[in-house]
Amino acid sequence: MAKKIEISNLRVRYGQKEALKGVSFDVHKNEILGVVGPAQSGKTTLLKVINRTIEFIPGARVEGTVTIDGDNIQSIKNVNELRRKIGMVFPLPVGLPLSIYDNVAFAPRAAGLRDKSKLDELVERCLIQSALWDEVKDRLDSLGTKLSGGQQQRLTIARALSHQPEILCLDEFSIAVDPVTTMRIEDVLKELRSEVTIILVTNLVQQARRLCNRTAFILNGDLIEIDSNEVMFSDNPAQKMTYDYVHGNFG
Amino acid sequence: MSTSATTSPNPVTLDPQTRFRETALVRRKKFTEKLARLTFLTMTLLMIFPLLLIVSYLIYKAAPILSINFILDNPVRGMRAGGIWPAFLGTLYLVGISLLVSAPIGVLAAVYLNEYARENWFTRIINLAVVNLAGVPSIVHALFGLGAFVLFAGMGRSILAASLTLAIMTLPVIIASTKEALGAVPTAFREACWNVGATRWQTIRRIVLPNSISGILTGIILQVSRAAGETAPIMFTGAVFFKAIEKGDIFAYGLFDQSMALSMHLFTISTQVPNVPEALPYGTAVVLLGTVLLVNALAIVLRVYLRSRKKW
Amino acid sequence: MINRSRLESVTERIIEGIIRFCGFSAILFVFGIFFFVFREGSGFLFSGLDIGQFLTSPEWFPTSVSNKRYGVLALLAGTASVTALSMAIAVPFGLGAAIFVSEFCGPKLKETFKIVIELLAAIPSVVWGFIGLTVMNGVIIDLFDAPIGLTVLNGGIILALMSVPIIVSIGEDALKAVPDSYREAAEALGATRWQVIYRVLLPAGKNGLLAAVLLGIGRAVGETMAVLMATGHSVQFPSNILDSVRTLTATIAAELGEAPVGSDHYQVLFIIGILLFTITFIVNLASDLVVKGIRNK
């Protein structure tokens, strides 16, 4: 398996508090990697390090290295190029106060795409991929913020795909979404696997089990175990704690 | 409830008819409630009452002279008759030019403080400077304008020097109101933009500014009325007692001319010129007050209207 | 693509530079004000002016031919008396109105009151001065049978009306910041509205209310046109509120036009400007610290 992301000895501190205590693992190309663990384990922090939005948090300090395709992300000069490589979906859906069309076209335009027909095509493709197209194709010029929560979350996913990322990170995307929509998005993710590498942070162990190739278990800033789903969800993973967590004995 | 009622030593509370009747405490509470309401209402009204009284009194006194010609005529006979045209136009010039300077600087300064500045001692000093700039007395601004623009920069007493003085005076309030407007845009929008690789400026231009423009505009409009009413800062930097200009010519003043101004004119004819007919200063006061209150009302209407069509 | 991204980052950097500069400009302006006011007055401040006499003598005779004296004590007393009287009126009424608007009003009524207060704040100081000069002057002469109505009382009332809006709006913010749970807890314990206000709200909103009062003072000290027109022109210690006085600000406004540029008199007026700048700077700094104190809690 080709390595897409290599994380080694990653430490993150917010002032005194240590959110990640030196974790190391790889993300393979075109896999869905699940990241599970209780709240406050450092899962979201991990994603923010990868696209370097951690830099916007005052007092956050990052040590260790993260490389994408072998390039250390800290040494990438144009951080916006890096962020365009990565699609991010956070727990709460955020429709920008723009039309649905402009929501999806925002990132390509920011990257310099002006061609109207290419934009049209891209918007349609992203909305189809995020399973929103059928619901909004007749009202692309209405406000994205006026959509329902589930629709906004799919709009967020469409936006995350709009700059054609190589990596897609989702952080507990199903929190604000109804179960039916969740299943539809999960189907979308399975299809996307052939094109992009997906990191799926979730607190739903069953979701990781359904969707992922491999799963990592993080607890209080430490990586407890990472392995293929066959091992992680079997009766004898390497760590007893993993077994306890995935079987709902704590967390 | 029932257990406390049955164990109560007072047999009256057992009677369901009287159980919920007003006790002395409840009556007292109701009474003090009313009394408090009344007291504070009186205090508030005592503050608002003068506004209505003053405005109606001014209009009553000014009524004989108020007409469109009063605004469009030059003053004549040593400012003891005629209209206020040069002062009215002068005020428009001063306000317009001062806002042309202070609005962009103020808005960008607020953008810096709200979008770029990190929380550190330097930002704290800038904020402190803004607070103190807002507190500098208007007459000190006048001294500054005289020292810096009129004398040091060699602009002389001119519309330009007076406008710049006004601009620096209105700057901190524009910064404060713009900051508030920018702060009302949820951080989540910014993060969403950064996450898809938009730069800070792209985020500000495409998302933050378009969604706070109403608040920013309201703040700027409010400064129109403040700048129009100020007297002290322009007294020694560019406003003169009297200057006749072409009637109806809105380009009558040049940047380096001195000009009249409504506020200055009101001060002049009510304190410096003897034997002015009574209606004249009242008329000037009403035009000044009317302009200011009208602009303010416009800002309020704009704010209410734009609030009703918020996008999220 | 490389060219585009380079262009992008260059324009971004230029715009960021402009924005940064505008941000720093606030500091520049504050120093600029101090520098230029100081510059005009510095010559006389360091050679000629007896600072002890300046601050402690009540004798202000800048245009005397034989014996020029520059003492600002009487002017300070003028400023202090008018400010004190205006605060004695504005603080209770302003805080009372803030309490009413914040605690007793429905949302509709609240909105209306706030608009009226905003309009009250918008009235230009020269119009207030004109009202003092014409309306209040007559009223005071009639009511108190005084020879002249341009007095501490007149200026105090006018300044009070001018300061009230700022006290109301900041005071209301301070009360709004008191959590509703405090009010509910107090009422659940059977406290009356009065008790809620003076036992719970006033202590909890103390700092914000103090900041409101300080800002009101800052405004009153710095006000120029209204006091110039409404307080008369007698440089003296007021013995009662029906005396005329002259404030620091009014002195500058009244005399700067006549003082020849560069003369001692002219420079002293700038030194008074520095004094005013310093006073309001301290008052504003104090209110800022008080407000920060709340936020850190």
Residue A238 Cα, gap to closest chain B Cα (Å): 35
Q: State the pLDDT at residue C67.
A: 82
CA distance linking residue C31 with residue C36, whole number of Å: 8
Residue A4's contacts (CB-CB under 8 Å, 6 or more residues apart) are: A26, A27, A28, A29, A30, A68, A69, A166, A167, A197
Q: State the pLDDT at residue B15.
A: 57
Residue C8 Cα, gap to closest chain A Cα (Å): 9
Which chain A residues in 71-110 lie under 8 Å from chain C, judged by CB atoms?
78, 80-81
Amino acid at B202: Q
pLDDT tens-place string over residues C233-285 = 888 888 888 889 999 999 999 999 888 988 889 999 999 999 999 999 999 88
Q: Where are the alpha helices (DSSP H) in chain C?
A: 2-46, 51-56, 73-99, 107-122, 125-131, 137-144, 152-176, 180-188, 193-195, 202-204, 206-222, 225-230, 248-255, 264-296
| DSSP-assigned beta bridge partners for residue A35 | A201, A216
Instruction: Flag whether A156 is in a domain.
Output: yes
What is the domain-level CATH number for residue A129? 3.40.50.300
Neighbouring chains of A at 3+ CB pairs under 8 Å are B, C
Residues found in chain B: 312
Where residue C175 falls (left for φ over 0; alpha for ψ -120 to 50; beta otherwise) is alpha
Q: State the pLDDT at residue B222.
A: 86
CA distances from A90 to A67, A166, A169, B267, C21 (A): 22, 17, 8, 61, 34
Whose structure tokens read 């000290």?
C221
CB contact under 8 A, C116 and B36: no
Residue closest to A79 by CA, chosen among A111, A52, A102, A106: A52
CA distance linking residue B129 with residue C27, whole number of Å: 5
CB contact under 8 A, A112 and C8: yes
CA distance linking residue A217 with residue A203, whole number of Å: 10
Question: How buried is C141 (Cβ within 10 angstroms: 0-12 exposed, 13-18 middle, 19+ buried)?
Answer: middle
CB contact under 8 A, A94 and B312: no
Going by pLDDT thresholds of 50, 70 and 90, the confidence category of residue B6 is: very low
Residues found in chain A: 251
Tell me the chain A residues in contact with residue C8 when contact means C-beta distances shorter than 8 Å.
80, 112
Beta carbons within 10 angstroms of residue C140's beta carbon = 22
Of B194, B199, B312, the CB nearest to A97: B312
What is the DSSP track for B265-295? HHHIIIIISTT--THHHHHHHHHHHHHHHHH
Number of B to C CB contacts under 8 A, please give it: 264
Q: Where are the alpha helices (DSSP H) in chain B?
A: 2-7, 16-19, 24-62, 68-72, 85-111, 121-135, 138-145, 159-183, 187-195, 200-203, 213-229, 232-235, 262-267, 279-308
CB contact under 8 A, C92 and B43: yes
CA distance linking residue B38 with residue B35, whole number of Å: 5
Amino acid at B284: T
Q: Cβ distance C225 to C129 under 8 Å?
A: yes
Q: State the pLDDT at residue B5.
A: 44
pLDDT(C1) > 60: no
CA distance linking residue A53 with residue A34, whole number of Å: 21
Number of A to B CB contacts under 8 A, please give it: 68
Domain ranges of chain C: 2-47, 69-296
Tell me the chain B residues in contact with residue A80 when contact means C-beta distances shorter than 8 Å.
197-199
Residue C28 Cα, gap to closest chain B Cα (Å): 9
Going by pLDDT thresholds of 50, 70 and 90, the confidence category of residue B2 is: very low
Q: What are the structural domains of chain B?
A: 2-62 (no CATH), 68-308 (1.10.3720.10)
- CA–centroid distance for C104 within its chain: 28
Instruction: Flag whether A132 is in a domain.
Output: yes
CB contact under 8 A, C9 and A81: no
Q: State the pLDDT at residue B115.
A: 92
Residue C78's contacts (CB-CB under 8 Å, 6 or more residues apart) are: C231, C235, C236, C238, C245, C246, C247, C248, C250
Q: State the pLDDT at residue B179.
A: 94
- CA–centroid distance for C29 within its chain: 19
Q: Cβ distance A92 to A177 under 8 Å?
A: no
Residue B246's contacts (CB-CB under 8 Å, 6 or more residues apart) are: B252
Going by pLDDT thresholds of 50, 70 and 90, the confidence category of residue B143 is: very high
Q: State the pLDDT at residue C177.
A: 85
Q: Does B142 touch chain C (CB under 8 A)?
A: yes
CA distances from B53 to A197, B59, B293, C161 (A): 73, 10, 15, 13
Instruction: Enumerate residue ranges in chain A where pLDDT < 50.
Output: none
Q: What average pLDDT does this structure show over B193-218?
A: 90
CB contact under 8 A, A106 and B189: no
Residue closest to B165 by CA, chosen among B180, B175, B178, B151: B151
Tell me the chain A residues in contact with residue C12 when contact means C-beta distances shorter than 8 Å.
none
Q: What average pLDDT does this structure show over C176-201?
A: 84
Q: Cβ distance A202 to A34 under 8 Å?
A: yes
CA distance linking residue A26 with residue B218, whole number of Å: 53
Closest chain B CA to residue C8: B199
pLDDT(C6) > 90: no
CA distance linking residue A32 with residue B253, whole number of Å: 71
Both tokens of A225, joined, read 């175990």
CB contact under 8 A, A94 and B197: no
Beta carbons within 10 angstroms of residue B56's beta carbon = 10
CB contact under 8 A, B196 and A163: yes
CA distance linking residue A224 with residue A202, whole number of Å: 16
The model carries a pTM of 0.86
Of B119, B188, B194, the CB nearest to A83: B194
Instruction: Flag whether A154 is in a domain.
Output: yes
Q: Cβ distance B240 to B259 under 8 Å?
A: yes
Instruction: Flag whether A251 is in a domain.
Output: no
Closest chain B CA to residue C40: B147
- CA–centroid distance for B120 within its chain: 30
CB contact under 8 A, B133 and C161: no
Q: Cβ distance A19 to A44 under 8 Å?
A: no
CA distances from B232 to B87, C226, C282 (A): 15, 10, 22
pLDDT tens-place string over residues C74-98 = 999 999 999 999 999 999 989 988 9
Tell me the chain C residues in contact with residue B28 when contact means C-beta distances shorter than 8 Å.
192
Instruction: Flag whether A20 is in a domain.
Output: no
Beta carbons within 10 angstroms of residue C17's beta carbon = 10
pLDDT(B162) > 90: yes
Mean pLDDT score across all residues of chain B: 86
Question: What would the CATH number be for the domain defined by C69-296?
Answer: 1.10.3720.10
More reliable by pLDDT, C254 or B312: C254
Tell me the chain C residues in contact with residue B126 when contact means C-beta distances shorter than 8 Å.
23-24, 26-27
Q: What is the ipTM of this complex?
A: 0.90
Residue C14 Cα, gap to closest chain A Cα (Å): 16
Amino acid at B40: F
Whose structure tokens read 């302009």?
B291
Which chain A residues in 45-104 lie under 8 Å from chain B, judged by CB atoms?
51, 53, 56, 58, 80-84, 87-88, 90, 92, 94-98
Residue A53's contacts (CB-CB under 8 Å, 6 or more residues apart) are: A83, A88, B191, B194, B195
Q: State the pLDDT at residue A125.
A: 92
Tell me the chain C residues in contact with residue B277 when contact means C-beta distances shorter than 8 Å.
none
Q: Does A176 touch chain B (CB under 8 A)?
A: no
pLDDT(C288) > 60: yes
| Helices (H) then strands (E): counts for chain A | 10, 10
CA distance linking residue A19 with residue A154, whole number of Å: 29
Instruction: Flag whether A5 is in a domain.
Output: no
Tell me the chain C residues in contact with residue B200 when contact means C-beta distances shorter than 8 Å.
12, 16
Interface probe with A: pick from C1, C2, C5, most Cβ of A within 10 Å = C5
Domain range holding A196?
31-42+79-246
Tell me the chain B residues in contact with residue A148 when contact means C-beta distances shorter than 8 Å.
none
Both tokens of B203, joined, read 């985020």
More reliable by pLDDT, C63 or B134: B134
Strands A222-228 and A214-219 come out as antiparallel
More reliable by pLDDT, B114 or C294: B114
Residue C3 Cα, gap to closest chain A Cα (Å): 12
pLDDT(B7) > 50: no
pLDDT(B8) > 50: no
| DSSP one-letter code for A145 | G
Both tokens of A115, joined, read 């061609």
Instruction: Flag whether A117 is in a domain.
Output: yes
pLDDT tens-place string over residues A180-228 = 888 888 888 888 888 899 999 998 888 999 999 999 999 999 999 999 9
Tally of domains within chain A: 1
CA distance linking residue B78 with residue B244, whole number of Å: 11
pLDDT(C174) > 90: no
CA distance linking residue B91 with residue C126, whole number of Å: 14
CA distance linking residue B237 with residue B97, whole number of Å: 14
Tell me the chain A residues in contact with residue B211 when contact means C-beta distances shorter than 8 Å.
97
Whose structure tokens read 């700092």?
C207
pLDDT tens-place string over residues B82-124 = 889 999 999 999 999 999 999 999 999 999 999 999 888 899 8
pLDDT tens-place string over residues C150-163 = 999 999 999 999 99
Tell me the chain B residues in contact with residue C22 when contact means C-beta distances shorter than 8 Å.
104-106, 108-109, 111-112
Q: State the pLDDT at residue B275.
A: 83
Number of A to C CB contacts under 8 A, please give it: 7
Residue A3 Cα, gap to closest chain C Cα (Å): 26
pLDDT(C21) > 90: yes
Q: State the pLDDT at residue C280.
A: 92
